[in-house]
Amino acid sequence: MKEIRNIAIIAHVDHGKTTLVDRILHQANLFRENQEVQELFLDNNDLERERGITILSKNVSVHYKDTKINIIDTPGHSDFGGEVERVLNMADGVLLIVDAFEGPMPQTRFVLQKAIELGLKPIVVVNKVDKPNCTPDIAQEKVLDLMFSLDATEEQLDFPTVFGSSKAGWMSDHWTNETTDVTYLLDSILEHIPAATHKEGTLQMRITSLDYSSYTGRIAVGRVTRGELIPGSRVSLVKRDGTIVKSVAKECYLFEGLGKEKTKDPVPSGEICAVLGLEGFDIGDTIADIEEPEGLTPINVDEPTMSMLFVANNSPFFGKDGKFVTSRQLRDRLIKETEKNLALRVEETNSANAFLVYGRGILHLSVLVETMRREGFEMQLGQPKVIIKEIDGKKHEPVEALTVQVPDEFSGKVIELVTLRKGEILNIEVNQDRANLEFKIPARGLIGLRNQMLTATEGEAIMAHRFAGYEPWKGELGVNRNGALISLETGTAITYSIDKMQDRGRFFVDPGEDVYAGQVIGEYTRQDDLTINIIRTKKMSNMRASGSDDKTSIAPAIKFSLEEAMEYIRNNEYLEVTPNYMRIRKIYLDEHERKRMDKAISE
């Protein structure tokens, strides 16, 4: 039997994980000479390709020198930490990839901490050494400092380092020593990552992730930790609460190359496999022996830090764009998502049309919303809120560690923006005209910060944050959004009206767009709201006034991305999301009702 190495690839978002996996797969000659190969083929859903980030972990394998290497590509963004924590349970070692220019970033710390707690042996890959002005040696030193601060063992601190460039397709023992391929990295994996050991005894396999096929239904993926799994055999499912359910492992698939291959042979311990035919399983359950079932400890996942209200669409334009618009369809879809998305929770509310969804952050929730709108769902979203806890009788809120890299001349503006939102400055480092600023900031202070930060720094700021813990409530934030321009009537926006109203604020709609009464069509220049009519056309007369009939020039409408819109809305507004449109609206569309409600709240 071949030796097996199980290795997870971890890194901060955009440090080159998926590109490196591409190179390893090419090295192992997984493709025919004439096969057309796309870049980053592990980012295989549209959302991952468009955003350039990994959202779901993937399993692939390569054969090198009579050894099978199972590679697990993990997300780099801390919002998908639930995904990372689970899959690290399948690995015996990790490849930690660090950008030679940026060094370890806050989310590198997050994933590395999980790997060290599990006792995994790391190999550090200093990537992108061909970047101008990069400092590979300093990056390596920073990784050592980071691991030391995370209480790594002596064996973990004695890590091998590989230098190279995934994009250029080479790895070697030193960054000045350029080679032609990544064999040095593969040899390092064989040398330093322990081989998966075969444990005798009754069957144990923890389900760490889920796959889904429209033909066969849900597929359980995990690593056999003890004994062996025989395809077609009867097994016990040990649930989280200790209950035992009898089931059958109808088919077993091993990960070979980019796909799965069906196997008739027993799957040995140490191997990662996918099991079809089980019923009623969840992530964290154990597949165990039919006669003597023994469960493994279930996986603990960090708590969600943010909540958001999902409401069935009831705007005047509902049902015009999407296929799924009822509250029942929305509820079923959200419940289905919780089966595979461990860090997500859904709660029913007093209203049959509204559901409270808890997640790890704006990005985590927005990926769910974006996936649903592409499937044809229409929904409305309430303002994102952080989850407040009561600890020892006092109100506590989640706090994040924030790192901002920015040209030195803008550091004053960044500090001012963050301290306005109750952030505390922890550290300032200046290196070659770039300042590295570290803060502690309430999680609610991050909502809407990215846009302001990019505007203030002319797009130069690089922001990254990770959850640091709960701290006592910091008080009200010193930030206020300007008021809204609200449409008075339903109809089509007219160029003439928008032109006449341009001094009132900035518009979110273009001429010719359909709007409805109560829709937020722009941002007012003052703090309170203003209802305006942009549907009124110019009165026709046969008199021509010189100069007034010149062409109008209208400032382009502001178009938000989904995350920006989610961060922008206030507590008396909804974001209406359909497959092709995003509209911000007031919860109460009627102006008199809106004023009555605002008055009731203020009293």
Please identify, among 472, 497, 518, the residue that sits at the C-terminal boundary of a domain. 472
Looking at the domain assignment, is residue 340 inside a domain? no
330-345 CB burial, b ≥16 within 10 A, e <16: bbebbeeeeebbbbbe
- Helix, strand, coil percentages (3-state) for the chain, rounded to 5, are 25, 35, 45
In a shared domain, residues 76 and 110: yes
Looking at the domain assignment, is residue 133 inside a domain? yes
- Whether 32 has a pLDDT exceeding 70, the answer reads no
Amino acid 39: pLDDT: 40
Residue 225 is part of a domain; what is its CATH number?
2.40.30.10
In a shared domain, residues 461 and 593: no
Amino acid 49: pLDDT: 44
Mean local confidence (pLDDT), 67-84: 68
Looking at the domain assignment, is residue 345 inside a domain? no
Looking at the domain assignment, is residue 368 inside a domain? no
Q: What is the pLDDT of residues 262-300, one digit of tens each?
A: 888 888 888 888 888 887 777 778 888 888 888 777 776
In a shared domain, residues 466 and 509: no
In a shared domain, residues 416 and 519: no
Residues belonging to the binding site are: 14-19, 127-130
Which token pair is 538? 């110019």
For residues 550 and 51, which has the higher predicted lDDT (pLDDT)?
550
In a shared domain, residues 445 and 393: yes
Residue 488 is part of a domain; what is its CATH number?
2.40.50.250
Please identify, among 413, 437, 472, the residue that sits at the C-terminal boundary of a domain. 472
In a shared domain, residues 9 and 156: yes
Half-sphere exposure of 325 (CA within 13 A, CB side): 14
Residues belonging to the binding site for GTP are: 14-19, 127-130
Looking at the domain assignment, is residue 199 inside a domain? no
Which residue in this structure is represented by tokens 């923890």? Answer: 206
Residue 450 is part of a domain; what is its CATH number?
3.30.70.240
In a shared domain, residues 467 and 493: no
In a shared domain, residues 498 and 534: yes
Residue 121 is part of a domain; what is its CATH number?
3.40.50.300
Q: Is 4 left (phi over 0), alpha (psi -120 to 50) or beta?
A: beta
Contact 277, 287 (CB under 8 A): no
Contact 236, 247 (CB under 8 A): yes
For residues 313 and 168, which has the higher predicted lDDT (pLDDT)?
313
- Whether 41 has a pLDDT exceeding 50, the answer reads no
In a shared domain, residues 134 and 103: yes
Looking at the domain assignment, is residue 185 inside a domain? yes
Half-sphere exposure of 38 (CA within 13 A, CB side): 7
Looking at the domain assignment, is residue 148 inside a domain? yes
Contact 221, 241 (CB under 8 A): no
In a shared domain, residues 468 and 598: no
Which residues are CB-neighbours of 51 under 8 A, at least 6 positions away? none
- First vs last Cα of the chain: how many Å apart? 75
Contact 160, 138 (CB under 8 A): no
Looking at the domain assignment, is residue 373 inside a domain? no
SS3 14: coil
Amino acid 139: pLDDT: 83
| Residue-number span of the structural domain to which 401 is assigned | 389-472
Which residues are CB-neighbours of 588 under 8 A, at least 6 positions away? 518, 572, 594, 597
Amino acid 380: pLDDT: 92
Full DSSP string of 417-451: HHHHTT-EEEEEEEETTEEEEEEEEEHHHHTTHHH
Out of 40-49, 334-343, 484-493, pick the least confident. Answer: 40-49
Under the banding of pLDDT at 50, 70 and 90, the label for residue 36 is: very low
In a shared domain, residues 150 and 265: no
Q: What is the pLDDT of residues 83-114, one digit of tens each?
A: 666 778 888 888 888 888 877 776 677 678 77
In a shared domain, residues 38 and 141: yes
pTM, entire model: 0.71
Amino acid 213: pLDDT: 67
Q: How many domains does the chain have?
A: 4
Task: Give the span between the Cα atoms of 270 and 246, in whole angstroms.
Answer: 24
- Whether 453 has a pLDDT exceeding 80, the answer reads yes
Please identify, among 235, 257, 288, the residue that sits at the C-terminal boundary of a domain. 288
Which residues are CB-neighbours of 270 under 8 A, at least 6 positions away? 4, 6, 195, 196, 197, 198, 199, 223, 224
